[in-house]
Amino acid sequence: MAGLYRLYHDKHNPPADFTHISFHGKTILITGATSGLGFEAALKFLQQGVSSLIISSRDYARGQQTQKELESRTGRRGVVEVYPLDMSSFQSVVEFAARVNTELLSSGRRLDVVVLNAGVMHRNFVCSEDGWEDTLQVNTLSTALLAELLLPTLQRYNSEQVIAEGDVPHLVIVSSGTALRVRRKDLLPPPSLSSSSSHPLLDYLNQPSTRKKYAISKLLIEYVSRSIADQTINPNGSLNVIINTVKPGLCASALGRQYTTRWYGRLAAGMFNWLFARSAEVGGRVLVSACVQGYESHGRMWKGDGVFDETGTLLGKEGKALKDQAWKEVSDVLQAQSSKFNVSLDVR
């Protein structure tokens, strides 16, 4: 009951809409912007003056439709660019990042904000073309790979003057409150796998029988984002980029559509969302607000009205060993992709 009360409270007490913030002169990239929270965030960026907005779409035609809708609703043409991206494919991620990095460099543009919002929630076991369970690949592995590939461009044009002006680039990774409810027992691989695998955690999550795949994938991307955040702190304690995650809360969107294929599922979901879910617009404002948080949000989870208190969760002290293990296993996968596609990654 306490959980339902929190959902009800959050629905009726939405966070502030940061409409006073201007994104004029900035280049922003957001994945998963063709619907839901990503679309609403893209809309807000345009309404608040962003000079260049890059959105991704697995279906390029759908991306073009989204571009037209964004232009129609804001009256701003020539601002939105659509790049194809399939997060279920490491090759697509590498090609997308290469295009972003090359085109921004050739045009002399900075990359000011990256919002990695694309994600999936599968009801059944789905295997990606790279052999990974698709939830794990999209929400964790491909997101981590894309973050690492874009990080040098985010930091490329930084300087002491930029830092002094408080104009530090942001890397925002969309997480989920479900990550906070994962317990250590949910991450225990069978003894046979623990002794035989060099990556027991990822291999365990890659099995059809593993439960809570979505929540665990979000916990892992929390670990990844914090590990990257730790590595980007300069020796003098300064930052060239602010890296945070964001928990938008329960929002009405198409993310869980595979769970509502039957009429009674749609009815139940509709009633539940009516009672407890925020609108996608409110979720979008949480994403946007994460992009303007200061140094105190680096390596932390933003929830719309502050950073999250991690006490008693696997994001706190209890999860330190898990974080180190998860980062080692994920970074091994990233290094393998770096070698396969001949791209440079600063993964430590």
**Active-site residue identified among 26, 44, 213, 218:** 218
Q: Where are the domains of the chain?
A: 2-339
Taking residues 256-273, report their average pLDDT. 56
Asked if pLDDT for residue 6 goes beyond 80, the answer is no
**Active-site residue identified among 83, 204, 214, 223:** 214
Percent over 90 (pLDDT), the chain:
62
Which is it for strands 27-30 and 113-116: parallel, antiparallel or unpaired?
parallel
Residues 153, 174: Cα–Cα separation, whole Å: 20
Given pLDDT bands bounded at 50, 70 and 90, which one contains residue 299? very high
Which of 180, 161, 175, 325 minimizes the C-alpha distance to 243?
175
**Active-site residue identified among 92, 175, 176, 297:** 175
Q: What is the fold of 2-339? A: Rossmann fold (3.40.50)
Q: Edge-to-edge strand order for the sheet containing 52-57?
A: 80-84, 52-57, 27-30, 113-116, 170-174, 242-246, 301-302
The yes-or-no answer on residue 218 being catalytic is yes
pTM: 0.91
N-terminal to C-terminal alpha carbon distance within the chain = 43
pLDDT, residue 38, reads: 95
The yes-or-no answer on residue 157 being catalytic is no
Given pLDDT bands bounded at 50, 70 and 90, which one contains residue 306? confident
- pLDDT one-digit tens code per residue, 108-157: 999 999 999 999 988 889 999 999 999 999 999 999 999 999 999 999 87
Question: What is the per-residue burial (b if ≥16 Cβ within 10 Å, else e) of 258-286?
Answer: eebeeeeeeeebeeebeebbbbbbbbbbb
- pLDDT one-digit tens code per residue, 152-194: 999 987 655 566 556 899 999 999 988 888 988 888 776 666 6
Partnered with residue 231 across adjacent β-strands are: none
Torsion of CA 56, 61, 62, 67, to 10 degrees: 70
CB 45 within 8 A of CB 23: yes
- Residue 235 carries which DSSP code? T
Given pLDDT bands bounded at 50, 70 and 90, which one contains residue 4? low
Asked if pLDDT for residue 263 goes beyond 60, the answer is no
Residues 250, 339: Cα–Cα separation, whole Å: 38
